[in-house]
Structure 1
Amino acid sequence: MKKFRFALALALTAFVPQGFAQDVQPIDGIAAIVDEDVILQSELDRAVRNITTQYGDRADQLPPVPVLRRQVLERLILVQLQTARAKSTGVRVGEEEIDAALAAIARQNNLTPDQLRQQLAADGLSFSEFRASLSDELAIQRLRQRFAQSSIVVSDGEVDAALANQASGTQYQLANILVALPNGATPEQIATAQDKIDGIKALLDRGEMDFQAAAVRYSDGPNALEGGDLGWRSADEIPSAFTNVVGGMQAGQVIGPVRGPSGFQLLQLRDMRDAAGSGASQNVTQYQASHILVRGDDAAAKARIDALRARVGAGEDFAAVARDGSDDTVTSGQGGDLGWFVHEAFGPQFGDQVSALQDGEVSAPFRSQAGWHIVQRTGTRQTDVGAENRRNQMREMIGQRKLEDEWNRFLREMRSEAYIDIRPAAGVAGVTDGS
Structure 2
Amino acid sequence: MKQNRRWAARSGRMLGMVALAAVAAGAVAQTVQEAPGADTGLNIPADSQIFGKFDPNVRKPTAIVNDTVITGTDVDQRVALVLAANNGGQVSQADRDRLKLQVLRQLIDETLEIQEAKSAEITITPDEITQSYNRVARNFNRTPQQMSDYLRQNGSSDRSLKRQIEGELAWQRYLRRKVEPFVNIGDQEVKGILDRLEAAKGTEEYNLREIFLAANDANAAQVAERAKGIIGEIQKAQQPFDFFARQYSEASTRSVGGDLGWVRAAVLPAELASAAQQMQVGQVAGPIPIPGGFSILYLTDKRQVLTADPRDARLSLKQLTVHFPAGTTQAQATQRAAAFAEGLKKIQGCGTVAKIASGVGAEVVDNDTVRIRDLPPQLADIMLQLQIGQATPPFGSAESGVRALVLCGRDDPQSGQLPSSDQIQNQLQQQRVNLRAQQKLRDLRRDAVVEYR
TM-score (norm 2): 0.47
